[in-house]
């Protein structure tokens, strides 16, 4: 069993993917029933797909993810973030410093932010970012850069982040074709 892209501490998700290698296969309906009989309360397997022979595991297949970012009550930005979001995303470069366990590096994050807009409710922010093993842009890093661009400092408690979807890339780096992991494989 391997999970696609483990969530960071404090993040929520509206759906996760995992690969499971089994010794025998019945029908998706029967397997779904068997899995859900064993699940703890609050966790439900929604769908089962049969992956093609030679398919990479879910973790290695992740190319991007979409997140919804909400602000905790009392931690909303002091600036009009809805009007500033397009301006932030329209920049030619978004240079940030990323801290790792061993080092610190400065790089342009802009190519790794695939989409950034206000959610339909007009309060939340929706972002789609590179989540591959090579890129892995965290939503909090994007928001930190957004705050700094607007002369503010992000409080580490301000954000409620929910991963909405995880994607694989069926295209190439030049012509990205992001497809939800749940659309890979066959029904059986």
Do 63 and 42 fall within a single domain? no
Show the tokens assigned to 70. 């909400």
Q: Tell me which of 20, 35, 55 is where a domain ends.
A: 55
Do 130 and 37 fall within a single domain? no
- Residue 165 pairs with which residues in a beta bridge? 66
- Are β-strands 2-3 and 18-19 bridged in parallel, bridged antiparallel, or unpaired? antiparallel
Do 36 and 122 fall within a single domain? no
Do 34 and 69 fall within a single domain? no
- How far apart are alpha carbons 139 and 181 in whole angstroms? 20
Do 125 and 39 fall within a single domain? no
Q: Is 108 helix (H, G, I), strand (E, B) or coil?
A: strand
| Full-model pTM | 0.91
Residue 104 lies in a domain: yes
Residue 185 lies in a domain: no
Do 87 and 48 fall within a single domain? no
Q: Residue holding tokens 């979409």?
A: 66
Show the tokens assigned to 166. 């995880």
Do 134 and 163 fall within a single domain? yes
Residue 158 lies in a domain: yes
Q: Tell me which of 14, 35, 55 is where a domain ends.
A: 55
- Residue 169 pairs with which residues in a beta bridge? 178
Residue 186 lies in a domain: no
**One digit per residue, pLDDT tens: the chain, 188 residues?**
888 888 888 899 998 999 988 888 889 999 999 999 999 998 899 999 998 887 878 888 999 999 999 999 999 999 999 999 999 999 999 999 987 788 898 999 999 999 999 999 999 999 999 999 888 899 999 999 999 999 999 999 999 999 999 999 999 988 999 999 999 989 88
- How far apart are alpha carbons 14 and 67 in whole angstroms? 10
Q: Tell me which of 13, 32, 55 is where a domain ends.
A: 55
pLDDT at 21: 87
Residue 168 lies in a domain: yes
Residue 188 lies in a domain: no
Show the tokens assigned to 20. 């499971």
Do 75 and 113 fall within a single domain? yes
Do 142 and 74 fall within a single domain? yes
Do 96 and 168 fall within a single domain? yes
Q: Structurally, how many domains does the chain consist of?
A: 2
Do 17 and 73 fall within a single domain? no
Provide the domain limits for residue 20. Answer: 2-55
Do 50 and 65 fall within a single domain? no
pLDDT at 7: 87
């Amino acid at each position: 069993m391997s999970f696609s892209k483990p969530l960071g501490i404090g993040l929520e998700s509206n759906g996760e993917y995992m690969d499971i290698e089994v010794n025998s296969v019945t029908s998706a309906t029967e397997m779904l029933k068997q899995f859900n009989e064993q699940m703890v309360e609050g966790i439900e397997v929604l769908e089962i797909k049969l992956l093609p022979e030679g398919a990479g595991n879910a973790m290695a297949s992740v190319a991007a993810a979409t997140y919804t970012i909400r602000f905790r009550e009392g931690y909303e930005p002091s600036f009009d973030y809805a009007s500033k979001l397009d301006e932030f995303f329209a920049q030619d470069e978004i240079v940030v410093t990323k801290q790792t366990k061993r080092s610190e590096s400065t790089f342009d994050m802009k190519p790794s932010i695939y989409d950034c807009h206000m959610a339909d409710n007009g309060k939340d922010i929706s972002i789609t970012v590179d989540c591959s093993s090579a890129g892995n842009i965290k939503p909090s890093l994007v928001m930190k850069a957004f705050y700094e661009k607007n002369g503010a400092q992000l409080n580490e408690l301000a954000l409620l982040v929910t991963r909405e979807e995880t994607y694989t890339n069926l295209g190439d780096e030049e012509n990205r074709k992001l497809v939800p992991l749940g659309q890979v494989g066959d029904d059986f």
